[in-house]
Amino acid sequence: MAFFDSILSAVGNTPLVKLNKVVPAGAATVLVKCEYMNPTGSIKDRMAVHVLNESEKKGLIKPGMLIVENTSGNTGQGVAMWAAVRGYKCVFTMPDKMSLEKVNMLKAFGAEVVITPTDVPGDSPQHYVETAKRIAREQNGFYVNQYHNPLNIDAHELSTGPEIWRQTEGKMDVYVAGAGTGGTVSGAARFFKKNKHPVKVVGVDPIGSVHYHYFYTKTMPTPHVYKVEGVGEDILCDAMDYSVVDEFRQVNDKESFLMARRLVREEGLFCGGSSGSNVHIAVQIAKEIGPGKTVVTVLPDSATRYTTKFLSDQWMKDYGFLGSDYDLGVVEDIMKARPTQQVITCNETDTVGSVVEIMRKAGVSQVPVLDAKKRPAKMVHELDVLRGLQSGAVTNTSPVHNVAQPIGGLIYPKARVEELFRIFETDQVAIVVDAEKIVGVIGKIDVIDYMGRRGK
């Protein structure tokens, strides 16, 4: 007889499926790994079972111990499944943007769920991560710590990566995965890189999350709320290994949800919103690299969690994702609509005086500062220079990095124009970055001119 000793042994070995309708003719092949077919309906089963098995073996989890974790719902279900089989009790903390389905599923396993505010800083005592730490500390529980646990990455290096490589017989060119804790994208990527497999790794980050900005600048942006669940983050995670990722791309809520709905209705794949994020970018890349190539991505969780959210027409309309005929387009449309402009930048080693001369000749009040690899690193503003000279902290011969500030307002060319409005709330200009290079700078007047011309 063929059977598993418990449901825990049924985790992994999910099917790889070709997309047929959402990928246009003339594009590369796109294959999706159906992780929503894991026992509790998400890729997080892999990490949960691996982390808890290893921790129990090491004696970190002892009989009668409470298991505590912060979760967007998916990790919690994997942990709750393991705990049910092994006989442990669980407490989970979740931000209030998560669907009611996710909360009820955790409670169905007998777990306690503590709901916390979404729109609080990552270091706030009310943040769901800090709340989980406090509960584990006060009740002497085991804190799973998916965000910083190296076993998170190991789970995908040992299972997800090898499975994909075996299923494709090594005939793949690009691996695309969303970044939340970072385990899925960087774990599989480590497998590809360590085994010298020639696979380009592209991380997917929702606009409002920190990964895209940090990857290119090594500075923390101010995160903002987005609707798609189970991807992106507002804090940095040790389970995210940026060194094995080749590129990051941004995606917005509307793109994610519309693609997820297409996957359900056109491909018969009953997957969640973050699956839409991954496939949106995978199709984008497939169109760029063309036929004869293969792009692989993952469908992280099931749509059963979102029947009252993006699968609902009314919910989509309430949040402006359906029913609007006025489409502003994407950032690169603005760049194409205006005359070609030279991107004005300076280097970290340039002097203050030389940068002031660049500003004067170009008629600009701020200049992006590039590092030794020509990647955006900082931004120098007129006011920064003025304050430095006034205080005596710098002179005209000082390196400009002495007065430069962390760069903000980074955006991907394919991002929706609407995302620029949020950037302009805190930054004077938006810096358009593609493949680690600055390809454009957009100011408010550029957007005003673009929208005015469209309205003619």
Phi-psi region of 329 (alpha: psi -120 to 50; beta: other; left: phi over 0): left
- Is 78 within the bounds of a domain? yes
In whole angstroms, give the CA distance from residue 51 to residue 46: 9
Catalytic residue, candidates 18, 21, 33, 44: 44
Sign of CA dihedral 230, 233, 238, 242: positive
Structural domain ending residue among the three candidates 265, 294, 318: 318
Is pLDDT at 425 greater than 90 in this prediction?
Answer: no
pLDDT at site 426: 80
Structural domain ending residue among the three candidates 281, 297, 318: 318
Higher-pLDDT residue of 280 and 377 is 280
Residue 401 CA to chain centroid, in angstroms?
29
Average pLDDT over residues 127-151: 94
Give 456's pLDDT tier (boundaries 50, 70, 90): low
Side-chain-facing half-sphere of 397: CA atoms under 13 Å: 0
User: pLDDT, tens digit, for every residue of 248-283?
Assistant: 999 999 999 999 999 999 999 999 999 999 999 999
- Is 128 within the bounds of a domain? yes
| Residues forming beta bridges with residue 177, ordered by sequence position | 203
Q: Does 110 lie in the same domain as 198?
A: no
- Is 163 within the bounds of a domain? no
Q: Does 187 lie in the same domain as 245?
A: yes
pLDDT at site 325: 53
Average pLDDT over residues 287-308: 96
Q: Does 402 lie in the same domain as 308?
A: no
Q: Where are the beta strands (DSSP E) in 96-199?
A: 112-116, 142-143, 174-178
Annotated catalytic residue 44: yes
Cβ-Cβ contacts under 8 Å for 234 (sequence gap 6 or more): 121, 122, 209, 210, 223
Q: Does 371 lie in the same domain as 302?
A: no
pTM of the model: 0.80
Q: Does 252 lie in the same domain as 116?
A: no
DSSP letters for 186-218? HHHHHHHHHTT---EEEEEEEBTBSHHHHHHHS
pLDDT at site 326: 63
Q: Does 313 lie in the same domain as 179?
A: yes
- Is 148 within the bounds of a domain? no
Report the domain count for the chain: 3
Is pLDDT at 446 greater than 70 in this prediction?
Answer: yes
- Is 313 within the bounds of a domain? yes
Average pLDDT over residues 57-69: 95
Q: Does 176 lie in the same domain as 34?
A: yes
Higher-pLDDT residue of 24 and 453 is 24
Q: Does 312 lie in the same domain as 179?
A: yes
Give 324's pLDDT tier (boundaries 50, 70, 90): low
Q: Which CATH number fits the domain that encloses residue 367?
A: 3.10.580.10
Q: Does 113 lie in the same domain as 187?
A: no
Q: Does 278 lie in the same domain as 205?
A: yes
User: pLDDT, tens digit, for every residue of 146-166?
Assistant: 999 999 999 999 999 999 999
Structural domain ending residue among the three candidates 123, 143, 163: 143
Domain range for 296: 26-38+171-318
- Is 155 within the bounds of a domain? no
pLDDT at site 61: 96
